[in-house]
Amino acid sequence: MSDTSAPLRLMNSKGLLLLTAISIATPAIAQKTYRLGEVIYTAKRPMKDIGIQKTVLDSSMLKENIALSMADVLTFNSSIFVKSHGRATLSTVAFRGTSPSHTQVTWNGMRINSPMLGMTDFSTIPSFFIDRASLLHGTSSVNETGGGLGGLVKLATSSDINDGLGLQYVQGIGSFSTFDEFARVTYGSDKWKVSTRAVYSSSPNDYTYINHDKKLNIYDDNHNIISQYHPKERNRNASFKDFHLLQEVYYNTLHGDHFGMNAWYTSSNRELPLLTTDYGESDFENRQREQTIRGILSWNHIRSSWKAGVKGGYIHTWMAYDYRRETANDNWTTMTRSRSHINTFYAQAEGEYTPSRKWYFTANLSAHQQFVRSEDRNIQLQDANRAIIGYDKGRIELSGAVSAKWQPCERLGMSAVMREDMYGSTWAPLIPAFFIDGIVSHTGNIMLKGSISRNYRFPTLNDLYFLPGGNPDLKSEHGFSYDLGATFSTGKPGVFSIDGGATWFDSHISDWIIWLPTTKGFFSPRNVKKVHAYGIETKINIGIQPIKDWHLDLNASYSWTPSINEGDKMSDADRSVGKQLPYVPRHSASLTGRLSWHSWAFLYKWVYYSRRFTMSSNEYTLTGHLPEYFMNNISLEKSFSFRPADLSLKLAVNNLFNEDYLSVLSHPMPGINFEFFISITPKLPSKK
């Protein structure tokens, strides 16, 4: 079936049939019911957002997904592609047909992409730890940092803490003996804000699934094969134990100076589950352990027309990966014993200046000093009489930018950004970006936005030095990106509100880095001549109050993202030229709805990904592509208010229709499963 029929197949999915049955359900999305009471027909926008293609995830939506990681939140509430190996396993995100390493991720301003892999594992980021999240698409990422050829995910905590002492505890119990605990203690006063959050999750994660990569025979009485079937198997070696602790302290002098301290500790012990293609019956251990601490100190000095700030941070990660098998009784053979130590020192200075209502200037300079030691004693190379078991490298990464934003009149805004990056001793050519937007109609708040930007991304340390396969001769990826879009918003206060937009994007990226198999039996990265990624992103938010005390919210997104390997036009032998990049869906869509009445709330979430190829040649073999899949989740929540505490009960059903699907080749995913949560918030005496 061709890709052109994908939008039609969307209309036949179980998710949309259910949605119709419940009157288009509802989202707990960014714009919640309070939008209905706002006057939304004023098109004023902050000058810092001139021309920016941006998606803001509302804090209430993050809290409603308390048991989920940021990977789950982004799956159902954005147009970006989330590639997940399952709960508590690697989950990465990618914008606009690019790869996860083309997505920059910051936490309170500090980049948290792994210097080894260039990507971020969103399964290790609890949504309970995130107060503000926004997505800067394509060219918009240049406003914050370089290297975001696809875009940028901004994550942050907030000092918005109520005065007095506050407590919250949530206990979750789910299928497969899954337990989730969440706790938070806060204290607030005029000057001080203090918060401590903790998350602990554990599960054997031993769900059953149908193994479509294996067939068993059915015999008759004479031992003749009369039929075959796909067996039901249990997800082996998939347990996890994750602990997160976040400490925040904020101090406001009340004279324009704000100080902050954020410290985040993670301890993770995860087994990596057996693949559906692994037919071995012997015992084995496949385990990944991680200890990470991230810390940031910040100071901001704020005045009426200008702001200055500095930050300093540190990240330390110890990661261990062990893979071994029992080759004979009590005789174990170790295949992989990898250890990595990563240390990152971070510093940033920034300033903002607004001389008049028409001008807005910014400047920032950041530095990340990376030190990485990676080794695997089971993989050795000989250099004379010395055995090489990994690499030990350091690299300084600098990024600085200045911008000027000009709004000559209410309807028109323009912005220019100049950024310069340096990795190691190599400077990137100047990275310019230009943005413009204009209000074409106050009726409906119709606004047009456009932008153009150059960008560069340097190879990661694994790209250059990983053993075996690292390629120190790799070139930096570079290219131009263009955006053109329109947004609108309208409504009637207290009755309904509707807003949305559509964006066309076009990116031409040269020297794209991709890991490919070699004749020596291992993978190695190389530069592809050119990749052309283009397409359309659309989104819409609707809020309705049909009758008194009833609120209906709906959020939907759709993306069409061809990402074509244009390769080297002189090489006709390369079968990947002109084909879609592996694991990039051409079509993706999400839908989230929320229906609330008094203290009751019903939440529905749906996501769709079209088929994805697993090989650059786009071959339709059994292992060459993954079929499309639909995912449907629902939850029902009831809140109670008692004199000593507020109580909330929530029942969630995931994979409502028991879909048999794959997100990554040969990685089984769970069928229908359940979670139940109890949230307790004591009512403590407030500060007078």
53-57, 211-215, 571-575 — which is least confidently predicted?
A: 571-575
Element spanning 70, H or E: helix 70-77
pLDDT of residue 64: 66
Specify the higher pLDDT residue, 380 or 172: 172
Q: Please report the pLDDT score of residue 603 as a whole number.
A: 94
Residue (of 61, 63, 71) closest to 105 by Cα position = 71
Residue-wise burial string across 510-524, b where 16 or more C-beta atoms lie within 10 A, e elsewhere = bbbbbeeeeeeeeeb
What CA dihedral angle connects 84, 634, 171 and 320, to 10 degrees?
0
Residue 686's pLDDT is 64
* Residue 616 to residue 92: CA distance in whole angstroms: 19
Which pLDDT score, from 0 to 100, does residue 638 have? Answer: 95
Answer yes or no: are the C-beta atoms of 474 and 526 closer than 8 Å: yes
Q: Are 626 and 609 in contact (CB under 8 A)?
A: no
Residue range 631-672, pLDDT digits in tens: 999 999 999 999 999 999 999 999 999 999 888 888 889 999
Per-residue burial over 252-286, b = 16 or more CB atoms within 10 Å of its CB, e = otherwise:
beeeeebebebebebebbbbbbbebeeeeeeebeb
Region 498-521: mean pLDDT is: 89
**Would you call 44 exposed, middle or buried from its count of C-beta atoms within 10 A (0-12, 13-18, 19+)?**
exposed
Q: Above 50 in pLDDT, residue 23?
A: no
The pLDDT tens digits of the residues spanning 355-398 come to 999 999 999 999 999 999 998 876 665 555 666 778 999 999 99
Look at residue 370 and give its three-state secondary structure.
strand
4 has pLDDT over 80: no
Residues in the chain: 688
Burial of 52 (0-12, 13-18, 19+ CB in 10 A): buried
Q: How far apart are CA 121 and CA 617, in angstroms?
A: 27
Give φ, ψ of 154 to 5 degrees. Answer: -100, 120
Give the CA distances from residue 484 to residues 353, 450, 455, 504, 519, in Å, rounded to whole numbers and listed in that order.
28, 4, 17, 5, 44
Rg value, the chain, Cα = 26
The whole-number pLDDT of residue 427 equals 93
Cis upstream peptide for 468 (omega within 30°): yes
Looking at the chain, the whole-number percentage of residues with pLDDT higher than 70 is 90
Q: Report pLDDT for 670.
A: 92
Residue reference for tokens 């190695």: 524
- Enter the DSSP assignment of 74: H
- In the prediction, which pLDDT does 44 show? 62
The whole-angstrom separation of Cα 162 and Cα 473 is 54
- For the cut 60, the answer to whether the pLDDT of residue 10 exceeds it is no
Helix (H, G, I), strand (E, B) or coil at 645: strand
pLDDT in tens, 561-607: 999 998 865 454 567 888 998 899 999 999 999 999 999 999 999 99
Q: Is the predicted pLDDT of residue 687 greater than 80, yes or no?
A: no
| Three-class SS of 453-464 | EEEEECCCHHHH
Distance linking the first and last C-alpha atoms of the chain = 67
Return the pLDDT at 401: 97
| Predicted pLDDT of residue 469 | 85
516: closest CA among 478, 469, 473?
Answer: 469
Do residues 209 and 231 lie in contact, with contact meaning Cβ atoms separated by under 8 Å? no
* Confidence check: pLDDT of 15 > 50: no
What angle (nearest 5°) sits at the alpha carbon of residue 533, between those of residues 532 and 534?
A: 120
Amino acid at 79: S
pLDDT at 126 (0 to 100) = 92
Distance CA 452, CA 415 (A): 11
Phi-psi region of 393 (alpha: psi -120 to 50; beta: other; left: phi over 0): beta
The angle formed by the CA atoms of residues 267, 157 and 314, to the nearest 5 degrees, is 55
Residues 6+ apart with CB under 8 A from 659: 629, 630, 631, 632, 671
pLDDT in tens, 405-443: 999 998 999 999 999 999 998 999 999 999 999 999 999
pTM of the full structure: 0.90
Residue pair 65/58 in contact by the 8 Å Cβ criterion: no
Reported as a single tens digit per residue, the pLDDT across 99-156 is: 999 999 999 999 999 999 999 999 999 998 999 999 999 999 999 999 999 999 999 9
pLDDT score of 8: 36
